[in-house]
Structure 1
Amino acid sequence: MRYSFKNPFELYIFHMVNKDNKDNKTNLIAVVQVVSIRYCNKMRKSIFNRILTAFLVVIIPLYSISLIIYSIGMADLKESFTREIRTRAVYDFKSLESELNHVIGFQRDYINKYNLQILSIGPSSLSKFNKREIILDTKRSLCALKDMSPLVEDAYLFIPSINKIISTNNDYSKLKEDFFLASNDSTADKSIISFLNDTLYLNVQFPIELTTSLKTPYFKIIVELSRNSLEEKLRWISPYKGGVILLDSLNTWQISSHELNSSEKKAIDEIMSKKLTIISDQPLNIKIDKIKYMVIVQQSDLLGIVMVVYIPVNEIVGPLNHLTLWFWIISLGAVLFSTFFSYWIYRILIIPLRDLQRGFSQVEEGDLDISLPSNNSSEFQYLFKAFLRMVNKLDNIIHEVSEQKTRTRYAELKQLQYQINPHFLYNSIFNIHRMSRRYKDEQLIQFTKRLSSYYEFITKSPQEILPLKDEMLHVINYIEIQKIRFGERIRVSIDDIPGGMDDFSVPPLIIQPIVENAYEHGLKNTISRGILNIHMKKSAKVLSIVIEDNGCDLTDSILKDMQARLDELTDLDDYTGLLNVHRRMQLYYGNEYGLTFSRSEMGGLQILMIMKEKEKNAYG
């Protein structure tokens, strides 16, 4: 019988079986236990945990690096936005300050005009015409002052000595007399900007510095600032929600970009109470009513005004919060993907491995009735099929070896039945041989010698294999015995063993039973001219032996029935020995080897024996 092994595992198992046939199944299970325990120990290290750990070792650093880069990027964006807002606030405040200084500079240039000084100091020395000319020129200058900036609403000239107000349109109803009287106060020169009736005024007097002897200025040029223009300017400074407030350092007046709510008023009071009027390179952060504000404070020492820009932090980081939200959504997606990926790996890798592990455990416990999932379309399906094929082959090996033992024991039993009392029979034949030599009967001497050799061969300890030359010597010895029986009725022709095939391994007693079958069934009734031929042919590692006779008792129906029973391995009645030989050959060489029955060209039975060359000590 021929066995083919696709991996060392199967060959090692069969080698262990061949090593000791006393308990084949125990040997097989022991070998499988060694291999499967080693495999299962590896499995118990949890491949899934190692894969998951490796996955996390890669993902966690990458995610940490991404988180760090994201945090740094967000911090840089926040700093960039903050710097942009502060830069814009500083620039716009400087622009406002420059524009107001430009107006103030015009006022200061104008107060140095000689005609204006003459009008305020010595008006009595001027004629009406000259006074009118000076007044008209003053109005033209005031109109020029009014038109020089959109922040200027109107311009006035106040001469306390004659208690006269000159304006661009002779409309100074907005200016109450108290306002001009206040200019005579000793503190009037401390601030260029004045606030009256919700209106800001720029005041420049002549002389600029008063003395103890001159407590009242000769005249003042007063510029009324447009509140609407100021509020629009403030709104443009900060496009964000929040606001911009312009106030004096004492917080006696305020102009804001919009109407303040209670929380914003509280915030401004908080800022001013903490005297946060010092220009800082970095914005200040305060929290009012659970609202966090970023505050930018700018101060003009020349004008005595403070600009406060306050913006809720959420307005700055609001757009960034969307990025943060998307980052965490992506992070959550990555976690969900990792979870799904882990589950997917578990389904396609770990579960099939556990099924395979379960199969090995069953083999380890001696259970060869194993079922594995058949709906897996991955590489595991091939592994499952290969494993099941291996288990089926192991199961077949167990049954075949067991059957071989049974048939071998049956052959031994048949030999014992033929032997009767082998020692007594052998000794009796030996005594007959001695007696024949005493009486010098050469034919009897040869007969007893052949018969003694025959029984010596079949009564010695059984062997699993022996060389072809020994089996053929036994066959020749048997034929010589039959020649004494049949005489010249049967002519025998035996080919020499092909070159290099003397040590060809064969199971014992596989050729002699076929020759015996030819004598007992094919040529038994032959009266004369019986022929028995034994041909041998070698092809590669295959040896073919043809044993044929010219018996006349073989019919087509008998031949067909014999071949059918041989294929089905059912008893052949009188031909049981042939079935025994055929099955033992299959067990030893493989199922494709054994016996084939056909009719010889001489009309009798032809039996073809096909065997393959085996390596030394190989069994499988």
Structure 2
Amino acid sequence: MNTRRDYSLRNTIFLRLVVTFALIMLPIATVGVSIYQWSIRTASNDISKTAVSQISFYLNDLENEIERMKLLQYGLLEDTDLNKLAITWESMGDIERMESITAVLNRAFTLQNSSNYIRDVSVHVKPIGKTLSSLSGAGDFEAERFEALRTASDGRGTKPIERAGNLYLSAAKPNGLKEKTPLFIIEIELDSHKLRQALQQFNTYPGSGSIMKARHSGFLIGSGIVRTLDEEAQNKLSLIASGSSGTITLEEQSYFVSHAYSDRLDQSIYRFIPERVVRKPLDKFYARAWLFAAGALIIMAVYALSTYKFIHKPLLKLVKGFRRLESGDLEQAIAHDANDEFRYIYERFNQMVVNLRTLIDQVWRQKVLAQRAELKQLQSQINPHFLYNSFFIMNTMAKTGDTERIEMFTTLLGDYFQFVTRNASDEVTLKQEVHHARTYTEIQELRFYKRIEVYFEELPEPFERLSVPRLIVQPIIENAFEHSLEKKARNGRIEVRFERSGSWLCIIVEDNGDSLSDDVLAGIKRKLDSEGELAESTGIVNIHRRLLITCGEDSGIRVSRGEHGGLRATIRIPIKEGTADAAIADR
């Protein structure tokens, strides 16, 4: 049975060792990557929490500052001079009017100076048709601004109003009548420049920026790298507005964004910190992580190379040695210079090959000697019955004076004994073997005259020089005479034919004997199939064993019941290269 297997790379110990080592290194690399990602998340979360805390604190201060402004605004709303101007303007004299206007402007100027975030304080008094401003003084009534403020204002507690890119605080004095138009409106304009300066305090990192944005209007103040935002960027910010922080990409630059919202002001502050700022403290760790990865790859490469050199390559050499041994190469020897375990294995392998070669030589010689001994034994086994019958036939011929047949008979008998007793060679040509079988057949035809007929087909010329073991045809014919046809009174027949089957020459010996039972046929087959050393060593079994030794497997003798009812013995001999292909055709 052929047990050879193909050892592809995926089935080798080398690959399994490398994969195992890689699997060992994989968790370490995974832990390293996880630590790096955790460090980034931790750093970004710390920065984000700090940023959120700062802008939340600022928004809280801004809420308090706006609330203080509103309280002062509401205080101005109840100012006596202002209310007198709005109500008694018609009955007041010019000097009184001037004094009241001056008093109101002073109060407005005081309110303006109460906070850095106030740019201007204006009072729009509709009954007198004037607008009083802390910056520009008394002027004509600004009806358009009045209407815009009246429409947007809803009384006390209102949030800053966005108009024309600025923020305003508005407070209106109702007129006490059924009319909805107020007597006057106090307007505080917040200073966008001061608000931008306040946002600048959050831009502590290079490349950072901050913006203040109204949630329900288009108001936006930016500082640092963020001055304005397009629609797409504002949509991205709206996603972050639901939480306190997130990540956004603006102009191919990634930012960590911290967010805080004031419901009282309806304003959000977004703080943009470049992602590289967060990663910068981890650059050394990042570089070391890459060094670790490169070191791990180098270790894996060194491990793979050393495993290949010191384990896989010697094992591969041993596997190749066994393959050559399977192919029959018994002259090989594996050399190994290193003084390690493989050297011992190779030495044992080499010794095994030597021992195997010695054993094979011994067994082969024993088989050859046994074959020769069997042949000599067969040669020495001259059937006494055949010898007695031969002398009896000669005696009868002598009594009858048949000298012509005596001469022919003695010549045939001499050729027969000369071939049988010759010890020069174990093999002869098929032509010589067939000639000897014909000689024996002619002797037996003289003995069984008119009782047994022999049909002997001519040997095809291309097979005449085939080398075969001696005495392989004649003993089978002898077996047919003795065991099948000797007691047959008449019409006995033996046929000897030659047929080609592929690369085999078949010599068929068939008789028409009627004494072959199924049990006897089965017994002959069992003896031919037996491989024991104690099996029969003469007759058909002897021929079969010698053919197996000389010609190899699938050669030998096959027995079956012939077409005429007797035994059919087929001798299979391989046709060696060089034999003419013009032999007899397959039948």
| Superposition TM-score, scaled by structure 2 size | 0.44
Question: Greater relative contact order (Cα 8 A, min sep 6): structure 1 or 2?
Answer: 1
| Superposition TM-score, scaled by structure 1 size | 0.42
